[in-house]
Amino acid sequence: MILELMIALSVGAGLFGIGLYGALSQTNLVMIVMGVELILAAALVNLVAFWRYLHPDEPAGQMFVLIVMAVMAVEMAVGFAIAIARFRVRGSVEMEEARELKG
Amino acid sequence: MTVQMIFLAFFGGAAVWFGVVVFRTHSMVRSALALLFSQTAIGAMFLVMQAEFLGVLQIMMMATEMSVMAIFMVMFMMDPGGMGKMDMTHQKRLSLWAGGIGLLAALLLVWLPDWGPVALSVPGAHEQAADLGRELLGRSMLIFQSAGLTILTAMVAATMVAIVPNAEQRK
Amino acid sequence: MTMLALIILAPLLAGLAALVLRRAPEAIALAGAGLGFVAAMALLAGIVSGGTMQLVLPGLPQMPLRLVATPLTAVISAMVATVAACVLIYAVGYMRSDPEKPRFFGILLLFVAAMQALVLAGDWITVLAAWELIGFSSYLLIGFWHGRDGVPGAAMRAFLYTRSADLGLYLGIFVLIGWAGTSEISATLDITGTPALVAGLLLLVGAMGKSAQVPLQDWLQRAMAGPTPVSALLHSATLVAAGAILLIRVAPMLPSVALLAVGLVGGITAVVTGLIALAERDLKRLLAASTSSQYGLMLLAIGAGVPVAALLHLIAHAAIKSTLFLGAGVFQHDRDSTDMEAVAGAGRTRPLILAAFGLAGLALAGIPPLAGFFSKDAILAAALAAPGAIWLAPLALAGTVLTGAYMARALRVLWRGEAQPVSGKGMGWMSAGIAVLTALAAGLGFAFAPLEHLLGAELPPEGAAMILGLAAALSGLVLGWFVAPSRLMGPVLPMAQRGFAVAGGMDGLVLRPALAVAATCEGFERRLLAAQLGLVRVLGLGTASRAERSDNRLYAATLQVGRMNLRLGNGAETTDTHGIDGLIFGLVARTIAAGRRLRLLQSGLIHRELALTVMGIAVIAAVLLTVPILS
Residue-wise pLDDT tens digits, C612-624: 888 899 999 889 9
The CA distance from C596 to the nearest CA of chain A, in Å, is 9
What sign results for the dihedral spanned by CA atoms C162, C165, C171, C176? Answer: negative
Are residue B75 and residue B5 in the same domain, yes or no?
yes
Contact residues, chain B, for C621 at CB < 8 Å: 105
Tell me whether residue C345 is exposed, middle or buried, using C-beta atoms within 10 angstroms of its C-beta: 0 to 12, 13 to 18, 19 or more. middle
For residues C183-194, average pLDDT: 77
CB spacing of A17 vs B99 below 8 angstroms: yes
- What DSSP state is assigned to residue C359? H
In this prediction, residue A41 has a pLDDT band, given cuts at 50, 70 and 90, of very high
* Among C457-471, C519-533, C547-561, the least confident range: C457-471
For residues A73-91, average pLDDT: 88
Report the b/e string of C422-456 with b at 16+ CB within 10 A: eeeebbebbbebbbbbbebbbebbebbeebbebbe
**One-letter identity of residue C112:** V
Nearest chain A residue to C611 by CA: give it. A24
Residue C473 in this model has a pLDDT that exceeds 90: no
pLDDT digits (tens, 9 = 90+) for B45-65: 999 998 999 999 999 999 999
Are residue B1 and residue B58 in the same domain, yes or no?
yes
pLDDT given for residue A12 in this prediction: 95
Alpha helices by DSSP H, C444-511:
448-455, 463-482, 485-489, 492-497, 505-506
In this prediction, residue C452 has a pLDDT band, given cuts at 50, 70 and 90, of confident
For chain C positions 559-618, those within 8 Å of chain B (CB to CB) are 607-608, 611, 614-615, 618
Contacts of A12 (CB under 8 A, 6+ apart): A42, A43, A45, A46, A49, B106, B110
Distance CA B94, CA A23 (A): 12
Residue C384 in this model has a pLDDT that exceeds 70: yes
**One-letter identity of residue C572:** A
pTM: 0.58
pLDDT given for residue C462 in this prediction: 67
User: What is each CA distance from B8 to A7, B117, C605, in whole angstroms?
Assistant: 7, 19, 39
pLDDT given for residue C466 in this prediction: 77
Which secondary-structure segment (H or E) carries C275? Answer: helix C256-279
What is the count of structural domains for chain B? 2
Residue-wise DSSP of C177-234: HHHHSS-BHHHHTT--SHHHHHHHHHHHHHHHHHTT-TTS-HHHHHGGGS-HHHHHHI
For residues C470-484, average pLDDT: 78
Residue A100's CB: how many other CB atoms inside 10 A? Answer: 6
Mean pLDDT of chain A, nearest integer: 89
Contact C126, C66 (CB under 8 A): yes
Mean pLDDT of chain C, nearest integer: 83
Domain-embedded: residue B32: yes
Distance CA C266, CA C263 (A): 5
Phi/psi of residue C387, each to 5°? -60, -40
Distance CA B85, CA B95 (A): 20
Contact C279, C496 (CB under 8 A): yes
Residue range(s) defining the domain that contains residue B9: 1-80
Distance CA C118, CA C7 (A): 12
For A94, the 3-state DSSP assignment is strand
pLDDT given for residue C504 in this prediction: 54
Contact residues, chain A, for C607 at CB < 8 Å: 24-27, 95-96
SS3 content of chain A, % helix, strand, coil (to 5): 85, 5, 15
H helix count then E strand count, chain C: 28, 2
The CA distance from A59 to the nearest CA of chain B, in Å, is 5
Quote the distance between the C-alpha of residue C150 and its chain's center.
20
In this prediction, residue C540 has a pLDDT band, given cuts at 50, 70 and 90, of confident
For chain A positions 23-52, those within 8 Å of chain B (CB to CB) are 24-31, 33-35, 37-38, 41, 44-45, 48-49, 51-52
Contact residues, chain C, for B90 at CB < 8 Å: 607
The CA distance from C578 to the nearest CA of chain A, in Å, is 34
Q: Least CB-CB distance to B98: which of C608, C611, C625?
A: C611
pLDDT top residue among C97 and C528:
C528
Contact residues, chain C, for A102 at CB < 8 Å: 602-605
CB spacing of C618 vs B95 below 8 angstroms: no
For residues C189-201, average pLDDT: 81
Residue-wise DSSP of C551-595: HHHHHHHHHHHHHHHHHHHHHHHHIIIIIIHHHHHHHHHHHHHHH
In this prediction, residue A6 has a pLDDT band, given cuts at 50, 70 and 90, of very high
Contact C95, C227 (CB under 8 A): yes
pLDDT top residue among C148 and B78:
C148
Percentage with pLDDT > 90 across chain C: 7
Residue A53 in this model has a pLDDT that exceeds 80: yes
C253 CB-side CA count, 13 A: 26
Report the b/e string of B85-96 with b at 16+ CB within 10 A: eeebbbbeebbb
Residue B171's CB: how many other CB atoms inside 10 A? Answer: 5
Residue C252's CB: how many other CB atoms inside 10 A? Answer: 10
Contact A35, A79 (CB under 8 A): no
User: Hey, which residues does C66 pair with through a beta bridge?
Assistant: C56
pLDDT given for residue C505 in this prediction: 59
pLDDT given for residue C220 in this prediction: 84
Distance CA C320, CA C322 (A): 6
For residues A25-52, average pLDDT: 92
Which secondary-structure segment (H or E) carries B49? Answer: none
For residues C155-178, average pLDDT: 86
pLDDT digits (tens, 9 = 90+) for C209-241: 888 887 777 788 888 888 888 888 888 888 888
pLDDT digits (tens, 9 = 90+) for B62-100: 999 998 888 888 887 766 666 666 666 777 888 899 899
Topology adopted by domain A2-97: Helix Hairpins (1.10.287)
Domain-embedded: residue B159: yes
In this prediction, residue C471 has a pLDDT band, given cuts at 50, 70 and 90, of confident
* Among B153-157, C59-63, C247-251, C516-520, the least confident range: C59-63
pLDDT given for residue C560 in this prediction: 92
Q: Which of B52, B80, B108 is the last residue of a domain?
A: B80
Distance CA A78, CA A84 (A): 10
pLDDT given for residue C486 in this prediction: 66
Residue C503 in this model has a pLDDT that exceeds 60: no
Quote the distance between the C-alpha of residue B8 and its chain's center.
17
Residue B42 in this model has a pLDDT that exceeds 90: yes
For residues C515-540, average pLDDT: 87
Alpha helices by DSSP H, chain B:
3-24, 28-48, 52-76, 92-111, 125-137, 141-162, 166-170
Distance CA A11, CA C457 (A): 163
CB spacing of B154 vs A74 below 8 angstroms: yes
Domain-embedded: residue B38: yes
Residue A8 in this model has a pLDDT that exceeds 80: yes
Contact residues, chain A, for B77 at CB < 8 Å: 28, 30
Size of chain C in residues = 631
Contacts of C504 (CB under 8 A, 6+ apart): C512
pLDDT given for residue C568 in this prediction: 92
pLDDT given for residue C111 in this prediction: 92
Q: Least CB-CB distance to C607: which of B90, B101, B105?
A: B90
Distance CA B145, CA B136 (A): 10
Residue B167 in this model has a pLDDT that exceeds 60: no
Contact residues, chain C, for A27 at CB < 8 Å: 607
Quote the distance between the C-alpha of residue C573 and its chain's center.
84
Residue C605 in this model has a pLDDT that exceeds 70: yes
